[in-house]
């Protein structure tokens, strides 16, 4: 059985990931911004420990890591993310720069904060993995001019995690990036292709396959390799 820390677990893909891992007997540290308001998460059966975490706040990330001192963590899944300013305010002609900065803070820096803070926990594991739920919109190979701040934030986290995968080879920590598909969540909207459960089932299968042999990869939820 593995121990997994997942961010953004109160709803959407993160909630479904928590359900799947808990159902197969793993221990899940389920992090979210507002544990008191996470009613669906509180009902997930199994070994689920709900933790307060604001990935955009270094003090919050440090406090979480202190709470987990000494705990071996096999897998960190950076799932929390935001879409950023209204689309009319994140494009070539108009930009809410404060909103863009916050989007970077959450989507690009949040995963790095969490990974760095939990590195001692990961190093205790035999086959540690750090997975970031990114987006196809962060791929340079996809020309879809919308949500430019969001796209740039995901491209940035892709690049950082790719570099981290090289650095962390000597520590035995595998690093992966996964596009979850277009998912019926608050972010993806009701017309999206996949249910959160379908996306999460695919993501879990991709995480299972991640190893030091495949570290540094970028995949879709269905296991296909994603173009950078
Ligand atoms: N849905 C899609 O079609 C799609 C496509 C590609 C990639 N993704 C990525 O998939 C991941 C999960 O998204 P989802 O579809 O499950 O969306 P979701 O249902 O909207 O959930 C987003 C999660 O991120 C948290 N979050 C949002 N803003 C935050 C902030 N400023 N600081 C910290 N946490 C914040 C949310 O917490 P609160 O409830 O507290 O806000 C929630 O737990 C994200 O990284 C997203 O970029 C989604």
Token look-up 């890591």 returns: 65
Give distance in angstroms: CA of 62 to centre of ligand 1: 21
In a domain, 208, yes or no: yes
In a domain, 227, yes or no: no
Can you give the residue range of the structural domain that contains 7? 3-220
> What is the pTM assigned to this prediction?
0.99
Give distance in angstroms: CA of 8 to centre of ligand 1: 6
**CATH number of the domain to which 158 belongs:** 3.40.50.720
Which residue's CA is the nearest one to ligand 1's atom 36? 8
In a domain, 79, yes or no: yes
Count of domains observed in the chain: 1
Residues framing ligand 1 (Cβ under 6 A): 8, 10-14, 32-34, 54-56, 79-82, 106, 133, 135, 180, 182-183, 185-188, 192
Q: How far apart are CA 218 and CA 179, in angstroms?
A: 8
Q: Is 53 left (phi over 0), alpha (psi -120 to 50) or beta?
A: beta
In a domain, 160, yes or no: yes
Per residue in 58-94, pLDDT (tens digit) is: 999 999 999 999 999 999 999 999 999 999 999 999 9
In a domain, 105, yes or no: yes
Probe residue for ligand 1, chosen from 10, 81, 107 as the CB with the greatest number of ligand atoms within 8 Å: 81
Which residue's CA is the nearest one to ligand 1's atom 43? 8
In a domain, 225, yes or no: no
In a domain, 192, yes or no: yes
Residue 7 near residue 110, CB atoms below 8 Å: yes
Report residue 109 as tokens: 């820096």
Mean pLDDT, rounded, for 11-38: 98
Per residue in 164-223, pLDDT (tens digit) is: 999 999 999 999 999 999 999 999 999 999 999 999 999 999 999 999 999 999 999 999
Q: How far apart are CA 100 and CA 158, in angstroms?
A: 17
In a domain, 12, yes or no: yes
Give distance in angstroms: CA of 170 to centre of ligand 1: 31
- Report the run of H or E that residue 157 belongs to, with start and end: helix 148-167
């Amino acid at each position: 059985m593995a121990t997994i820390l997942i961010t953004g677990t109160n709803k959407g893909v993160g909630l479904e990931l928590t359900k799947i891992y808990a159902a197969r007997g793993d221990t899940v540290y389920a992090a979210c911004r507002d544990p008191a308001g996470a009613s669906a998460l509180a009902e997930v059966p199994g070994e689920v420990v709900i933790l307060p975490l604001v990935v955009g706040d270094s003090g919050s990330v440090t406090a979480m890591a202190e709470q987990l001192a000494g705990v071996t963590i096999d897998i960190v899944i950076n799932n929390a993310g935001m879409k950023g300013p209204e689309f009319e305010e994140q494009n070539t002609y108009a930009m809410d720069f404060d909103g863009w900065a916050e989007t970077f803070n959450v989507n690009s820096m949040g995963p790095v904060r969490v990974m760095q803070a939990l590195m001692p926990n990961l190093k205790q594991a035999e086959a540690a993995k750090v997975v970031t739920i990114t987006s196809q919109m962060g791929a340079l190979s996809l020309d879809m001019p919308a949500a430019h701040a969001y796209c740039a934030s995901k491209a940035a986290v892709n690049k950082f995690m790719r570099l981290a995968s090289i650095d962390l080879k000597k520590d035995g920590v595998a690093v992966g990036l996964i596009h979850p598909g277009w998912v019926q969540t608050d972010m993806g909207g009701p017309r999206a292709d996949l249910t959160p459960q379908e996306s999460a089932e695919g993501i879990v299968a991709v995480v299972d396959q991640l190893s030091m042999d495949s570290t540094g990869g970028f995949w879709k939820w269905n296991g296909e390799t994603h173009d950078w």
